[in-house]
Amino acid sequence: MDVNATQQLYGVEQSTQGTKRGELGKDEFLQLLVTQMRYQDPLEPVKDTEYIAQLAQFNSLEQMQNLNKSIDGIHEWLQVVQSSSMIGKEIEAIDFASGEVIKGTVTEVIFRDNQPQLVVGDNKVSPADVLRIFGEEAQSDG
């Protein structure tokens, strides 16, 4: 049975505090589980193994979500490290909004909307928009 249908059937209101609308958080899951137990048919009760299976499945889902958050944090950290390693390097990047190719030396890294931006002259470039990073021999050639 669909979670929303089950919630409507048993009159459970889903709290949106701490979860996005439509997502089932830990508190909502436990509330729904208790409500299911309270309103189950006494002549055909649900086996306890089914509840245990639901709890185990929910626990696995929660662990995967925590792992995804950790991986996202590592990804953000790697972006910062990668961006800061470009300071002093000559790069070529594209500004997709204007189609302009930007070439110059990265002088600093700033953050806009929690994303690193490389400062090249008067331009701010996303590390994802970098086309080339020139080696030291290319810089000395001019």
What kind of fold does domain 82-141 have according to CATH?
A: SH3 type barrels. (2.30.30)
Task: Please tell me the predicted confidence (pLDDT) of residue 31.
Answer: 84
Is this model's pTM higher than 0.85 or not? Answer: no
And the tokens for 82? 């990668």
pLDDT over 60 (residue 92): yes
And the tokens for 76? 């953000």
Contact by Cβ (8 Å): 52, 33: no
Task: Please tell me the predicted confidence (pLDDT) of residue 29.
Answer: 78
Residue-wise pLDDT for 40-87, tens only, equals 878 877 777 887 888 888 888 889 988 999 998 888 888 888 888 899
And the tokens for 140? 């000395």
Domain segments of the chain as ranges: 3-80, 82-141
